[in-house]
């Protein structure tokens, strides 16, 4: 990682996840970058064989950069539950099953917590992680990570966001991510709080590759 390169022009957002695509577009918009998604370009989805968020982000960014011959931006993210030894972690998407049913995935987490008797808030600690990687077609990469800590609530609350948002109440806030507007969840300073894991990773990345 040199940190010397700057992004400009068109970049590929290497995701096939509509929720993440929307958030990434919102984050990149102020930098005047034109973003096309891997889905729109018809790029194949590489197998995520890494064992860390950072490795999987790099696999996706490198595959898209080489296939599209453009700089590419990828995120790998998920929720880690302390009482479950960090699960679902890098398998957060997979816990939604083939139909990507996150009501089901949240229920799975809740059932496991109940089995452990984890009803008190301090036994229900969790954190979201976002690893972001920018890769260039010549295989240079820059990778950063962001994290937000909080507590898992039950029942889930709020219609906003995606994935595990309705179950996650970030520290210092009374509402879950599912009850927050997009600006509250991932708005960047000076207007926003830079609250979400993705916003925090993005701030780190902006300092490195976005002029």
Instruction: Single out the residue of 177, 141, 188, 142 nearest to residue 27, CA to CA.
Output: 188
Residue with tokens 């096309």: 36
Pair type for strands 10-13 and 141-152: unpaired
Q: Enumerate residues 33-62 that contact ligand IMP by CB under 6 A.
A: none
Cα dihedral: 154, 124, 166, 163 (round 10):
-130
Which residue, 127 or 177, is less far from ligand IMP as judged by CB? 177
- Active site annotation includes 76: yes
In the bound complex, what is the minimum distance in angstroms from residue 167's beta carbon to ligand IMP? 9
Q: Please tell me the distance from the alpha carbon of residue 150 to that of residue 139, in angstroms, as a whole number.
A: 35
Which residue, 5 or 184, is less far from ligand IMP as judged by CB? 184
Is 132 in contact with 57 (CB distance < 8 Å)?
Answer: yes
Which residue, 5 or 173, is less far from ligand IMP as judged by CB? 173
Rule CB under 6 A: is residue 31 a binding residue for ligand IMP? no
In the bound complex, what is the minimum distance in angstroms from residue 9's beta carbon to ligand IMP? 25
Q: Enumerate residues 91-130 that contact ligand IMP by CB under 6 A.
A: 92-93, 96, 102, 128
Long-range pairs, 107-110, Cβ under 8 A, ≥24: 109/81, 109/84, 109/152, 109/164, 109/167, 110/152, 110/154, 110/167
In the bound complex, what is the minimum distance in angstroms from residue 80's beta carbon to ligand IMP? 10
Per-position b or e across 92-114, b if 16+ CB within 10 A of its CB: bbebbeeeeebeebbebbbeebe
Length of the chain: 211
By CB under 6 A, which span of 37-45, 70-78, 112-120, 138-146 interacts with ligand IMP? Answer: 70-78
Applying CB under 6 A, among 146, 150, 156, 163 the residue interacting with ligand IMP is: 163
Rule CB under 6 A: is residue 162 a binding residue for ligand IMP? yes
Catalytic entry in 75, 76, 87, 165: 76
Number of Cβ atoms within 10 Å of the Cβ of 44 = 10
Rule CB under 6 A: is residue 78 a binding residue for ligand IMP? yes
Which residue, 3 or 98, is less far from ligand IMP as judged by CB? 98
With CB under 6 A, what is the number of residues at the site for ligand IMP?
18
Instruction: Single out the residue of 60, 67, 54 nearest to residue 147, CA to CA.
Output: 54
Contacts to ligand IMP by CB under 6 A? 17, 76-79, 92-93, 96, 102, 128, 161-165, 177, 196, 198
The residues carrying an active-site annotation are: 76
């Amino acid at each position: 990682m040199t940190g010397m390169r700057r992004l400009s022009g068109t970049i590929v957002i290497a995701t096939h996840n509509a929720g993440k695509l929307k958030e990434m577009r919102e984050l990149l918009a102020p930098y005047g970058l034109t973003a096309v998604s891997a889905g729109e370009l018809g790029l194949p989805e590489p197998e995520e064989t890494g064992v860390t968020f950072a490795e999987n982000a790099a696999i996706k960014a490198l595959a898209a950069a080489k296939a599209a011959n453009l700089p590419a931006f990828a995120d790998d993210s998920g929720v880690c539950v302390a009482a479950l030894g960090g699960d679902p972690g890098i398998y957060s998407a997979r816990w939604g099953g083939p139909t990507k049913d996150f009501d089901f995935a949240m229920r799975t987490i809740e059932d496991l917590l109940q089995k452990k008797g984890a009803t008190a808030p301090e036994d229900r600690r969790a954190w979201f992680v976002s690893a972001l990687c920018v890769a260039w077609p010549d295989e240079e990469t820059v990778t950063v990570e962001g994290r937000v800590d909080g507590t898992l609530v039950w029942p889930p609350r709020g219609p906003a966001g995606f994935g595990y948002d309705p179950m996650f109440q970030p520290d210092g806030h009374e509402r879950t991510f599912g009850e927050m507007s997009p600006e509250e969840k991932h708005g960047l300073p000076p207007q926003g709080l830079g609250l979400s894991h993705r916003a925090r990773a993005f701030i780190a990345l902006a300092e490195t590759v976005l002029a």
